[in-house]
Chains A and B, each alone.
Chain A
Amino acid sequence: MNEDFEVLLTDKRYEMISKIIQATTIKGKRKWTISDMLDKAFLDKYVGMPIFLAMFWAMFTFTYACSVPFMEMINMAFVWLGEQALQIIPNEYLAAFIGEGLIGGIGFVIVFAAPIAFLFLSIALLEDSGYLARAAFVMDRPMYRIGLTGRSFIPMLLGFGCNVPAMMATRSIEDRKDRLLTLIINPFISCSARLPIYILFAAAFFTQYAVSVIWSMYILGIIIAILSALLLRKTLFKGEPAPFILELPIFRRPTLKSAAIHMWDRTSVFVRKVFTYLLVGAVLLWLLSAFPWGAGVENSYVAMIGKAIEPIFRPLGFGWRGSVAFIFGFLAKEVVVETFAILFAVEGEAATAIALRGVMTPLVGYAFMAFSLLYMPCLAVFGVLRKETGSWKWTGFAAIYGLVIAYFVAAVIIAVGTLLGFA
């Protein structure tokens, strides 16, 4: 016998199926449905892609516009709480810890529960309606042309929520090369944990273009992921991608209940993360930035760490604060935002966004956003990478590759921006 046996048996099974269908099922005339009409437009060769980009832009506009008032409210509440803490608590260490570390750090990050909730609401609406599956289909065309399977795009779309489940979804990819490739490029897809960084920076530097700037980060993530896939396909994972068959679900009106469940699930994950990972981060960061006591942030332990690494980032101009933010951001990407909040709080700056403008130019800010998007997966993703690739080698490769790409892209942004006179 040979492996043809499998093919022969498969044929036999389909033979049986067609007998069963003949005996049991009458197929009538198919009606032309609204779903078919929508697909005519959404899957069109020419307008499909612009529709996809527009949908995403609309998604971020919705997320940003809806969450700003909530963020303001939560922020005001915490600023007030922080002032109260500093006044009421008699012990000066404790007052500083609670006021600057906990309320200034954790309180500042919890504000981002609002945009995260709205982001997931819009993702859920797009997903439940059936549109996201179309997006995968639309992306398959350009991806296939450069030798990639659209199969990889589904985990990429899932990555907009969180890279961890997205990477687990690669298990449905049969071909080992395709799977490894998809795993390695997935961290480039901008997850919701990066959103707070974008919102903080976009609001600080690009007020009226904030939404477009945030959107551009997500598009940058997709582009880098695709280009990386292309590069890896031509070098380490030579070969043809497996063909991609995607079943398109019919368009359905999303139910509010299902969307609300999704939104609630993900937002509560974020809130839990704030009180675990980010709490640890806050305590650590505050201790390091408040001590030696009374020396000022510029001479604190955290500044020593930052200044030791800063030379690496000197060409990019991220400063020692940015350097430290990246180190701690490995814990979870929200910590990047938390770091700035605590550093500025200890310095006595109430508004992080305004204080940011004092230490970076808009161009550097934009490069910083790109670097945070690309530089290194967070701890959780690192763990999943190890588990799913089953090898430290590939995990290490993905991490180093990410760092190199991040540095390169940030440098290009600075260089091109300077040439164009944006510095």
Chain B
Amino acid sequence: MILKVALTGNPNVGKSVIFNALTGSRQHVGNWPGKTVERKSGECTYKGVDMEIVDLPGTYSLTARAIDELIARNFIVEEKPDVVVDIIDASNIERNLYLTLLLLELRREIVVALNMMDVAKDKGYKIDIEKLTQMLGVRIVPTVATKGVGLKELKQAIVEAGKDTLDHEYGRSTHRHIQLSYGEQFEEIISKVSGIIQKDPKLTEKYSHRWLAIRLLEQDEDALEKIKGSSQEQTLLEVIQ
């Protein structure tokens, strides 16, 4: 059994540094967007658990408009990694959390690496990690990747999260996914659309119905493509128009 782990995050958060540290690879680390446009993968073993680590392009969002965002998104949606590691620049936590919220919608097991803690500290930030863990409902590991701080803890968290994924598959999961609410007005429409999606098992088999519903409501081109040929296609198109 090999855990499939995807690394995501905004550009320039130290993703490649973490990838290299986890896999022992020597990928050159750049500090601007576009360095990793094609995914790279490597292997890692921790406490007897083998992992395949895939480094996805760094993105701020997960729309279908830019190719790198679509590559990252499609990997998570289609290939269903067991664990998604979201690397956050702690010194820019506000902007970085946007991607985190989008990732939460994909309903994979997420581990947040709160990286660049040293820079955040220099900036005078104090982050209550326990509270953040509660609010997001995911494992959070503070790291300073360039100095190797927190990497062991990160591997531990990935392995544990992977175990949750497996438990979930066998129906043994006790792990809760926190659902962030968009507010009553939006939630009503979202659940209406996701109700229709759930009528087509072909769709629910592949995609999280809530995620697909939100994307459809956003008129996301790729999502519209995904429902083509579905038994519910017409109904869905009428509702979201």
Q: Which residues of A contact B (CB under 8 A)?
A: 1-3, 5-6, 8-9, 12-14, 16-18, 20-21, 23-31, 33, 124, 127-128, 130, 132-133, 136, 154-155, 158, 168-174, 246-247, 249-250, 258, 261-262, 265
Contacts and interface: CB of A to CB of B under 8 A. Distances in A.
Given A158-B34, A169-B37, A250-B119, A25 B125 contact: yes
B34 to A, nearest CB: 3
Interface stretch (B39-47, B165-173, B214-222): B214-222
A14 B182 CA distance: 11
A29 B32 contact: no
A249 B94 contact: no
B33 A172 contact: yes
Nearest to B129: A24
- If over half of A's interface residues share one DSSP class (helix, strand or loop), that class is named, otherwise mixed; here it is helix
Contacts of A12: 182-183, 186
Interface in B171-189: 180, 182-183, 186, 189
Given A21-B97, A30-B123, 10 more contacts: A3-B219, A5-B218, A6-B219, A12-B182, A13-B101, A25-B125, A172-B34, A172-B57, A174-B66, A250-B119
A128 B57 CA distance: 19
Contacts, number: 130
Contact of A17 (B32, B35, B94, B123): B94
Interface of B: 11-12, 26, 28-35, 37-38, 57, 59, 65-68, 71, 92-94, 97-98, 101-102, 119, 122-129, 131-132, 135-136, 180, 182-183, 186, 189, 214, 217-220, 240-241
- Choose among A3, A5, A158 the residue with the greatest number of B CB atoms under 10 Å from its CB: A5
B68 A171 contact: yes
List the 8 closest A-B pairs by CB distance, nearest first.
A28-B124, A169-B34, A171-B67, A6-B218, A26-B126, A249-B31, A174-B66, A24-B132
B178 to A, nearest CB: 11
A173 B34 CA distance: 9
Contacts of A16: 101, 180
A28 B125 contact: yes
A13 B32 CA distance: 25
A5 B122 CA distance: 38
Contacts of B29: 128, 258
Given A5-B218, A31-B122, A261-B28, A25 B127 contact: yes
A155 B68 CA distance: 14
B31 A133 contact: yes
A258 B219 contact: no
29 contacts: A5-B219, A6-B218, A12-B182, A16-B180, A17-B97, A17-B98, A20-B97, A21-B94, A23-B128, A24-B129, A25-B128, A28-B124, A31-B122, A31-B123, A128-B29, A154-B32, A154-B34, A155-B34, A168-B38, A171-B57, A171-B71, A172-B33, A172-B57, A174-B65, A174-B66, A246-B33, A247-B11, A249-B32, A262-B28
